[in-house]
Amino acid sequence: MSIKIIKAGILDTIQDKGRYGYQHLGINPTGAMDSYALQVCNILVGNSPGEAVVEMHFPAAVYLFTAPALIALGGADFSASINGDSVPHLQPIMVCKNDVLQFHKPTNGARAYLAVAGGLAIDPWMNSYSTHLKAKAGGYLGRSLQKDDELLLRQLPKFPGKKDEFSVLPWQVDINWFGKDYPKEILALPGHEWERLVEASKENFTITSFVIAKQSDRMGFRLNNRPLYSITDKEVISAAVSFGTIQLLPDGGLIILMADHQTTGGYPRVAHVITAHQSRLAQLKAGDTIQFRLTDQSTAEELLIKQRQHLLQLQNACTFRLEEYFHANRN
């Protein structure tokens, strides 16, 4: 009862919503880059929204199922297939023993998620399943998935699928929630050191399009930009930074801190990407452009609450569908 990795991907890791409560020890939360997609995938298979899943970058691994499983794919669309037949995004799929799942082409987004009903049978570290690559702890042996790794599953599906052919269950998340492409507009709140920027740089921040630079990873996105200027070079004594914090580097460049960001930092925090837009940001990759727009606290909170309400609605709908399907397909 497992998923075997028969070919490694470039960076496939186990992630959940992150490891909170230990940042005072310097232990950064890590967790899924696109926490919204993680929750959607889990909800589709009837898991609790924060269950551990596999986060994939392209090229992703090739997976072999050694037992039937109910799965869902979400986040980025990497054109998945099972045994060579293409399978849909954001729809529950019942796979059979010996089915092979692989990904062919990134058509939209940068990070894809694979959720399995019942979850993965791995041990948590400091109350989370997220892989902490730097500490080499959490997730699967504290590292990215390699060839011949075997992810044990906690349970078999609650209802039988077809005997020897995978089947796609007849409901899907409304794609319109996400839009066809991930939007490039990113709302941000001014940071504590926003006022350090000279007026022209403040303007540039919202007028200019920023290109995500090559040196971008799970820790942070570097932006290619004409330097922004600060009215002071007064040192910022190290203090907390978070997912979405936009720091001004000494050379005038910007970096947006992402899921593997460090807990504290000493660069000026000029702005913060709102939490509700972390998901769309996480789906961008090197070469993509973004456009910042400043917003206020109450708008940021409203959008975040709306996102949570969407997830709750989706959870109710999926729970109902799964139960209905379960009753109809009982032996």
Size of the residue set binding other proteins (CB under 8 A): 45
Q: Tell me which DSSP letter residue 293 carries.
A: E
User: Of 302-321, which residues contact other proteins (CB under 8 A)?
Assistant: 304-305, 308
Q: In the numeric block, which tokens belong to residue 53? A: 């899943």
* Distance, CA of 254 to CA of 250 (rounded, Å): 9
For the chain, the maximum distance between any two Cα atoms, rounded to a whole number of angstroms, is: 72
User: CB of 275: closest distance to other proteins in angstroms?
Assistant: 5
Contacting other proteins (CB under 8 A), which of 42, 201, 230, 245? 245
Interface with other proteins by CB under 8 A: which range of 83-91, 115-123, 189-197, 323-331? 189-197
Listed in sequence order, the DSSP H helices in the chain are 35-44, 199-207, 278-282, 297-328
Paired residues of 103 in beta bridges: 80
**DSSP annotation string for 27-96:** ------SSHHHHHHHHHHTT--TT--EEEE-SSPPEEEESS-EEEEEEEEE--EEETTEE--SSS-EEE-
Q: In the numeric block, which tokens belong to residue 146? A: 């390699």
Quick note: the x/- pattern for other proteins over 62-101, rule CB under 8 A, is ----------------------------------------
Quick note: the x/- pattern for other proteins over 98-127, rule CB under 8 A, is ---------------------------xx-
- By C-beta, is 77 or 193 nearer to other proteins? 193
Contacting other proteins (CB under 8 A), which of 5, 53, 71, 137? 137
Does 192 participate in binding other proteins (rule CB under 8 A)?
A: yes
Strand order in the sheet with 53-56: 13-15, 53-56, 108-116, 69-77, 93-95, 167-168
- By C-beta, is 7 or 308 nearer to other proteins? 308
Contacting other proteins (CB under 8 A), which of 9, 118, 157, 244? 244
Contacting other proteins (CB under 8 A), which of 2, 184, 264, 285? 264
- By C-beta, is 53 or 188 nearer to other proteins? 188
Q: Is 157 helix (H, G, I), strand (E, B) or coil?
A: coil
- By C-beta, is 303 or 317 nearer to other proteins? 303
- By C-beta, is 123 or 164 nearer to other proteins? 123
Contacting other proteins (CB under 8 A), which of 265, 279, 280, 284? 265
Does 2 participate in binding other proteins (rule CB under 8 A)?
A: no
Contacting other proteins (CB under 8 A), which of 206, 238, 319, 329? 238
Interface with other proteins by CB under 8 A: which range of 40-48, 67-75, 188-196, 283-291? 188-196
**DSSP annotation string for 10-22:** SS-EEE-S---S-
Q: In the numeric block, which tokens belong to residue 330? A: 């009982």
CB 124 within 8 Å of CB 159: no
CA distances from 188 to 122, 150, 247, 278, 299 (A): 36, 41, 12, 10, 10
Does 263 participate in binding other proteins (rule CB under 8 A)?
A: yes
Quick note: the x/- pattern for other proteins over 141-160, rule CB under 8 A, is -x------------------
- By C-beta, is 91 or 263 nearer to other proteins? 263
Does 294 participate in binding other proteins (rule CB under 8 A)?
A: no
For residue 137, how many other CB atoms are within 10 A of its CB?
18
What would you report as the CA-atom Rg of the chain, rounded to the nearest whole angstrom?
21
Q: In the numeric block, which tokens belong to residue 315? A: 């959870």
Residues that bind other proteins (CB under 8 A): 20-28, 125-126, 132, 134-137, 142, 189, 191-192, 236-242, 244-245, 262-265, 269, 272-275, 297-298, 300-301, 304-305, 308
